Amino acid sequence: MRTPTTSSWRSRAAWTNGCGWSKRISTPKGDPTVPRSSVREELLSAGLETLHRRGFNATSVQDITDAAGAPKGSFYNHFESKEALAAEAVRRYREKGRVRLSILQDAKLPPLRRLRKYFESLNQAVVEAGFSAGCLLGNFGAELSTQSSLVRKQVREAFAGWCDAIALVIAEAQKEDAISGTLSPQALAEFVVHAWEGAMVRAKVEKGRAPLDLFLKVTFSKILA
């Protein structure tokens, strides 16, 4: 298992979000005082939201251009294919999660408390989304890993950066003896991310938060303890 240095953790973790949610804020139309974003930005924003909600194979280019309020022909002026937009959507999804990631960097809180607060925030986002969209990384990982090497590469990098961000905080907690040092920070971080992804999928299936609550209970009473 790779054991990146603190500097390599920080370089990859600096802009990753793990799972965020891709609710689109539409550009107001018809108001000359509000500048419209570029067509490319409209397509990317609409594409991210639509792909997250419906999945890659259930979303057409027409669906994306309709959601963006753009002519279908304009799509290929900005993206070579739906696959290319999907890969860019993963990058944008990571960027959108910077606010949530800041929870892990809040030096005012002990590291273990930061970790719990972070996952509580993720869980609440799943609940508020009605147990529907889930995590784009997990969704694309399941749907596209054998279909698109381009998207798989972006998802793989996103997961790696997410794990690194969590590993940094686990390392802090281990230095304070708040978490056992039996396993490496990276091993614990990757296991916890895997566990949360599974809990999130089960919550979608059950349409309820019990799997997410169980994740918190077991993780913070047994795994990160």
Q: Give tens-digit pLDDT for 55-101.
A: 999 999 999 999 999 999 999 999 999 999 999 999 999 998 777 88
The domain boundary residue, chosen from 70, 96, 122: 96
Which CATH number does the domain housing residue 88 bear? 1.10.10.60
Give the distance, in angstroms, between the CA of residue 215 and the centroid of all CA atoms in the same chain: 18
Same domain? For 153 and 209 the reply is yes
Contact status, residue 215 vs residue 149, Cβ threshold 8 Å:
no
Contact status, residue 131 vs residue 15, Cβ threshold 8 Å:
no
Same domain? For 123 and 200 the reply is yes
Tokens of residue 25, six digits: 């804020």
- Using a pLDDT cut of 70, give the percent of the chain over it: 84
More confident residue, 216 or 30: 216
| pLDDT for 164 beyond 60 | yes
Same domain? For 189 and 81 the reply is no
Domain count, the chain: 2
Query: What does the pLDDT average to over 156-183?
Result: 97
Same domain? For 2 and 50 the reply is no
| pLDDT for 152 beyond 50 | yes
For residue 99, the model assigns a pLDDT of 79
For residue 180, the model assigns a pLDDT of 97
The domain boundary residue, chosen from 80, 96, 112: 96
Same domain? For 158 and 145 the reply is yes
Which CATH number does the domain housing residue 177 bear? 1.10.357.10
Contact status, residue 145 vs residue 131, Cβ threshold 8 Å:
no
Cα dihedral 84, 85, 88, 90, rounded to 10, equals -110
Report residue 1's pLDDT band, with 50, 70 and 90 as the boundaries: very low
Angstrom distance (rounded) from CA 99 to CA 94? 11
Answer yes or no: pTM beyond 0.95.
no
Query: What does the pLDDT average to over 144-151?
Result: 96
**CB neighbours of 111 closer than 8 A, spacing ≥ 6?**
169, 170, 172, 173, 176, 178
| pLDDT for 187 beyond 80 | yes
Same domain? For 161 and 177 the reply is yes
| pLDDT for 32 beyond 70 | no
Same domain? For 75 and 30 the reply is yes
| pLDDT for 53 beyond 60 | yes
**Tens-place pLDDT, residues 88-136:** 999 999 998 777 889 999 999 999 999 999 999 999 999 999 999 899 9
Same domain? For 76 and 142 the reply is no
Same domain? For 138 and 65 the reply is no
Question: What secondary structure, in 3-state letters, does 25-91 show?
Answer: CCCCCCCCCCCCCCHHHHHHHHHHHHHHHHCCCCCCHHHHHHHHCCCHHHHHHCCCCHHHHHHHHHH
The domain boundary residue, chosen from 96, 127, 160: 96
For residue 33, the model assigns a pLDDT of 38
Query: What does the pLDDT average to over 8-22?
Result: 49
Find, among 126, 144, 143, the residue nearest to 207 by Cα: 126
Helix %, strand %, coil % of the chain (to 5): 65, 0, 35
Same domain? For 133 and 30 the reply is no
Q: Where are the beta strands (DSSP E) in the chain?
A: none
For residue 4, the model assigns a pLDDT of 45
Same domain? For 11 and 40 the reply is no
| Backbone phi and psi for residue 66, each to the nearest 5 degrees, phi listed first | -65, -45
Same domain? For 208 and 109 the reply is yes
**What is the overall mean pLDDT for the chain?**
88
The domain containing residue 63 runs over which residues?
A: 21-96
| pLDDT for 50 beyond 70 | yes
For residue 25, the model assigns a pLDDT of 45
| pLDDT for 24 beyond 70 | no
Location of structure tokens 């993720």? 122
